[in-house]
């Protein structure tokens, strides 16, 4: 592990996103909450939050962090039929929370896949990426095209599961 003992604790934040593409009928079943395994959107949200908290146990050499805040937004989109996941992680510490945000997105999408695999073998996870980060010596970074109001921008309100 990298020694971060001498680094100053600063407020840090990271936003990550990803998507799972689905058949339109699968998306309809998710919206109608008719899949046998239950409420896909709620399970994905909880899986993402739990994953952020477990990141250092999942990723070798990743520092354990005290997370101050994690929010995961799970949004069904009609065109193309998909679910977009965004995860925002915050901490005050000597190292960033990018891995926590990315892990939250990845595991939330895997939870969706697990819940739909029996009815949609073509489900495809992709586009997992860091949208922005702030804090620390390197300062702020934002993916090009992630201006306020665009996909990849931080949620302006508390995220909620949309149906």
Q: Is residue 114 among the annotated active site residues?
A: yes
Do 46 and 161 touch, CB atoms closer than 8 A? no
- Tokens representing residue 87 in the block: 């995860």
Question: Exactly one of 3, 39, 68, 114 is catalytic; which is it?
Answer: 114
CB-based contacts of 98: which residues, under 8 Å, 6+ apart?
A: 14, 16, 130, 133
CB-based contacts of 146: which residues, under 8 Å, 6+ apart?
A: 131, 132, 152, 153
- Catalytic annotation, residues: 114
């Amino acid at each position: 592990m990298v020694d971060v003992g001498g680094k100053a604790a600063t407020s840090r934040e990271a936003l990550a996103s990803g998507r799972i593409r689905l058949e339109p009928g699968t998306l309809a079943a998710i919206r109608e909450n008719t899949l046998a395994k239950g409420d896909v959107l709620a399970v994905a949200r909880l899986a993402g939050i739990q994953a952020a908290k477990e990141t250092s146990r999942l990723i070798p050499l990743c520092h354990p962090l005290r997370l101050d805040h994690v929010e995961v937004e799970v949004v069904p989109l009609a065109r193309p039929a998909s679910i977009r996941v965004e995860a925002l992680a915050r901490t005050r510490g000597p190292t960033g929370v990018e891995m926590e945000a990315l892990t939250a997105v990845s595991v939330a999408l895997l939870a969706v896949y697990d819940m739909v695999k029996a009815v949609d073998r073509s489900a495809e996870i992709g586009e997992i990426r860091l949208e922005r980060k702030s804090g620390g010596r390197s300062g702020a970074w934002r993916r090009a095209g992630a201006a306020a109001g665009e996909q990849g921008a931080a949620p302006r309100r508390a995220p909620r599961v949309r149906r």
